[in-house]
Amino acid sequence: MANATKGLFIACDIPMAQFIVNLNASKPPSQKFIIHVLDDTHLLVQPDSGGTIRAAISEFRDKNSYEKPA
């Protein structure tokens, strides 16, 4: 019999998937959110972790954006 797990499916490029995997690895075991890494560009995560992941990605992009000096 098959087991079903409710989750959020994430499709992204390889660098972003690695960022999410590293973000998950930096959390304590009780706060880990990745259910399964499907392949290099697809992840299944806890359904309530979408906002946390979006916030971390937004912060990462803000830190790594170049702004031309005035």
CA dihedral 30, 35, 39, 43 (to 10 degrees): -90
pLDDT of residue 66: 81
Neighbours of 12 (CB within 10 A): 16
pLDDT of residue 8: 96
pLDDT in tens, the chain (70 residues): 788 889 999 999 999 999 999 999 999 999 999 999 999 999 999 999 999 999 999 999 999 888 888 7
pLDDT of residue 51: 95
Q: What pTM value is reported for the model?
A: 0.85
First to last CA, the chain: 63
Q: How far apart are CA 7 and CA 57, in angstroms?
A: 19
Q: Radius of gyration of the chain from Cα atoms?
A: 14
